[in-house]
Structure 1
């Protein structure tokens, strides 16, 4: 079975490619290399012994998408990661986010709806809940007004998929991730942000290795035990495995609705300072950090209720925050050596 992974050389996409190939799927990757590297293909191949088909492409080019599906007309499923994903950048450059995250999705769905049947897994986000009123967050929590253009593109994306699924052979699962972290245990692939990292863990590891002078902790006046924001940090390998489980659910027609939604997290929240302390423990290195003002678009806390993913999807996070931080640190050391 041939599965397309868009953004497949990115952080989550590359780990998902590994897990899919391990399960015997044929993988085709599209990536525009705007926030990734073609070298990631070598890492995937080193782990699995099989090189995925790769096409460099900008999904905002409608004709290229049409041509791709003409060439690969036997694709039966799509896992859609390709998107811009930095909250802060989206606040500063909203049109980039609306063009990149919405146009690409529309062009993909236009091709898939031509098929009699197609599976679609959407990389969504817990940002659709905004600042949820109750913790942990269930899938029934109301989708709130987005705190950033990035979050809004995920909400709009979910709505588009739901509308298209009603009138086509597309069945979809929307996976709302919390905060993916870590690297593959082989240290062949991991998070590889270009430029200044927008996410906490790569900024921590780059600070620890001396690439960044100091880690900024955005705000210590949140209504949390230590004043810093709380998030649910999930190991990227656990997250990748969830995509395979979700895809199999659709292939085996076990879905009970045309569009299903699952939260993917550990069910536990950790504050920024707790993550800093945990990293110092696993790495043995003190971190140079400074408390600064809050960052626009950030919420106080978010962690998942994983009951539905555990019981209905049949998936559970198995790796710990310490596992993730240790693997992220090994990855950082490898790529700087």
Structure 2
């Protein structure tokens, strides 16, 4: 298939690109680099051995989005383009609604006008809020607790309404739990533009010496070691699920909503110890007060994804930590100071 990745230069998007290319698809990336770096394109060329078709595009630019789809032909779109930090969304809710929801509306309108029949949407377990019980199934109540999660839920509902209105349109909503890890080459990984809001990149930056210590929010939860428990999933397992979801939309011609997680909860302390082992580095930490709204345990029931897609997570916590450390140690300051020279970026990009 010919597939467009909106936000394809981001953390999950670029890893998904490698899987789709490996499976023989023709893949185009559209991105405005709001949450990513142009260096990603050169890295992708190194990983795949092929030029990277790229188009600079902001999903909020409705005329630009319409014009792009008017001159391109795609069999499917994978939609990663969104702002994604929970804390930031509480400070800038209007920006999150404008970017995430308006951008999705413009994308859906352009897809409809161009006759693109399939969409895989990057959703999130944040749509469940604080779940009543674990593991979390897809039929759990949806009750978001922050603007970021609210935008994801609204986007899911928009996509569902389009599917109901158009019997020929098919979509997959993939509800991620906690993506971590990096490509095994060490060339691609998670590179937050500011202070990391997720646990793994913060641990990585402490281990590499960029930050003094890790703050663990809460050590008195009703969990085995008192720290919060989450479902961490390797980004390459997550990337495979997107390719499998595209196959499902084609082969089954049905819509889909599934959780993507391992089904196993890992505590903060477990992750810290696993990372210290994988990196042979100490990870200094201190336990501080809980954050309001943090649940003690959240992890997925991934059975539906296994049944419908034949997908299951294959990489364990040791692989997650090993690959995350390889990325961080090879790129201590992320893409900005990576080993690929800036002028290689232009060589790697073929504008479509």
Scaled by the length of structure 1, the TM-score of the pair is: 0.95
Equivalence map 1:45-64=2 (5 Å): 45-64=45-64
| Contact 1:88–1:296 (8 Å) recurs in 2 | no
**CA apart distance, 1:219:** 1.8
In the other structure, the counterpart of 1:101 is 100
Over the residues paired in the alignment, what is the CA RMSD in angstroms?
A: 1.3
The separation in 2 between residues aligned to 1:60 and 1:234, in whole angstroms, is 30
| Contact 1:123–1:174 (8 Å) recurs in 2 | yes
Equivalence map 1:84-163=2 (5 Å): 84-116=83-115, 118-144=117-143, 146-163=144-161
**CA apart distance, 1:105:** 0.5
In the other structure, the counterpart of 1:273 is 269
**CA apart distance, 1:296:** 4.1
The separation in 1 between residues aligned to 2:124 and 2:142, in whole angstroms, is 11
**CA apart distance, 1:299:** 2.8
In the other structure, the counterpart of 1:322 is 318
SS at match of 1:75: coil
Equivalence map 1:131-210=2 (5 Å): 131-144=130-143, 146-168=144-166, 169-210=168-209
In the other structure, the counterpart of 2:220 is 221
**CA apart distance, 1:297:** 4.5
In the other structure, the counterpart of 2:302 is 306
The separation in 2 between residues aligned to 1:298 and 1:153, in whole angstroms, is 19
**CA apart distance, 1:116:** 4.3
1:38–1:207 Cα change, 3 Å: same
1:57–1:115 Cα change, 3 Å: closer
Q: How big is each residue's C-alpha offset from its partner over 1:215-239, in whole Å with a ceiling of 9 and x where there is no partner?
A: 1111223332222211100000010
1:92–1:294 Cα change, 3 Å: farther
**CA apart distance, 1:93:** 1.4
Scaled by the length of structure 2, the TM-score of the pair is: 0.91
Q: How big is each residue's C-alpha offset from its partner over 1:203-256, in whole Å with a ceiling of 9 and x where there is no partner?
A: 10100111011111112233322222111000000100000000011122x14x
In the other structure, the counterpart of 1:8 is 8
In the other structure, the counterpart of 1:291 is 287
| Contact 2:4–2:77 (8 Å) recurs in 1 | yes
The separation in 2 between residues aligned to 1:109 and 1:129, in whole angstroms, is 24
Count of residue pairs brought into register by the alignment? 332
SS at match of 2:204: helix
The separation in 1 between residues aligned to 2:115 and 2:81, in whole angstroms, is 24
The separation in 1 between residues aligned to 2:300 and 2:197, in whole angstroms, is 22
Q: How big is each residue's C-alpha offset from its partner over 1:300-327, in whole Å with a ceiling of 9 and x where there is no partner?
A: 3211111111111111110001101111
Q: Which segments of 5 or more consecutive residues in structure 2 lack a partner in the other structure?
A: 333-337, 339-352
| Contact 2:74–2:116 (8 Å) recurs in 1 | no
Moved over 4 A (4+): none
The separation in 2 between residues aligned to 1:283 and 1:130, in whole angstroms, is 33
1:234–1:126 Cα change, 3 Å: same
The separation in 2 between residues aligned to 1:113 and 1:321, in whole angstroms, is 41
**CA apart distance, 1:170:** 1.8
In the other structure, the counterpart of 1:32 is 32
1:251–1:52 Cα change, 3 Å: farther
| Contact 1:182–1:327 (8 Å) recurs in 2 | yes
The separation in 2 between residues aligned to 1:118 and 1:321, in whole angstroms, is 37
| Contact 2:173–2:256 (8 Å) recurs in 1 | yes
| Contact 1:267–1:306 (8 Å) recurs in 2 | yes
